[in-house]
């Protein structure tokens, strides 16, 4: 497998990741997605305080060849955004699970988090995606 998937995160079928931090969750784009998009040139972030709904567009990621929505994995309010991305959107390419995080949100419904995929399940999922 060529794509990095790390332990301790939850994953969505749209290739977003969530990392739990006490009562909040950090959201980002998976290595798989950043690789498919290519060089990322612009990120449109939600405003702090925006009410997000799981599965609905929360941010827009623009690369040299495509524009993709980042769908919020969870419902809840945005409490922090990664402003570094406004000047350095390529951080998502370089460190999708680290410096390239996108936003932090509150966790409204624990069930939504529990329903996401773990590392192994997601790894299996991207193998299937690749075979399609």
Partner 1 sequence: MGGKHYLPLTEEDRNEMLSVIGAGSVDDLFADIPADLRFKGNLELEPAMSELEVLKHLQQMADKNRHFQNCISFMGAGIYDHYIPSLVSHVTGRSEFYTAYTPYQPEVSQGTLQTIFEYQTMICQLTGMDVANASMYDGGTALTEGAIMGCGATRRSRVLVSRSVSPFYRAVMRNYFNSRGLIMDEIPLRDGCTDREALLNMIDENVAAVALQQPNFFGMVENMNGLANIIHERKALFLVSVDPISLGLLQTPAEYGADIVAGEGQCLGIPASFGGPALGILAAREKYVRQMPGRIAGETVDSEGNRGFALTLQTREQHIRREKAASNICSNEALLALAASVYLSAMGPQGVREVAEQCLQKTSYAREKITAINGFELVFPGIYFKEFAVKLPVSPEDANLHLLKKNILGGVDISQFYPELDQTMLFAVTEKRTREEIDILVGELEELK
Among 10, 12, 63, 93, binds partner 1 (CB under 8 A): 63
Among 42, 51, 80, 110, binds partner 1 (CB under 8 A): 42
65 is an interface residue for partner 1 by CB under 8 A = yes
86 is an interface residue for partner 1 by CB under 8 A = no
> Which span sits near partner 1 by CB under 8 A: 2-10, 17-25, 60-68, 116-124?
60-68
Q: Choose among 99, 107, 92: nearest CA to 52.
A: 107
C-beta contacts of 60-68 below 8 A and 24+ residues apart: 61/29, 61/33, 61/37, 61/89, 61/92, 62/89, 63/37, 63/38, 63/39, 64/38, 64/39, 65/37, 65/38, 66/37, 66/38, 68/33, 68/37
Among 4, 48, 56, 67, binds partner 1 (CB under 8 A): 67
66 is an interface residue for partner 1 by CB under 8 A = yes
Residues that bind partner 1 (CB under 8 A): 42, 44, 50, 62-67, 69
């Amino acid at each position: 497998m060529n794509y990095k998937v790390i332990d301790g995160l939850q994953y969505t079928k749209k290739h977003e990741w969530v990392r739990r931090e006490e009562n909040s969750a950090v959201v980002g784009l998976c290595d798989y997605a950043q690789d498919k998009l290519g060089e990322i040139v612009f990120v449109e972030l939600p405003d702090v305080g925006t009410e997000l709904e799981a599965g609905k567009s929360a941010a827009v990621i623009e690369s040299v060849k495509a524009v993709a929505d980042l769908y919020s994995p969870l419902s809840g309010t945005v409490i922090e955004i990664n402003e570094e991305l406004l000047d350095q959107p390529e951080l998502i390419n370089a460190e999708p699970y680290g410096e390239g995080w996108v936003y932090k949100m509150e966790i409204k419904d624990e069930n939504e988090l529990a329903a996401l995929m773990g590392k192994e399940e997601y790894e299996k999922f991207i193998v299937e995606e690749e075979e399609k």
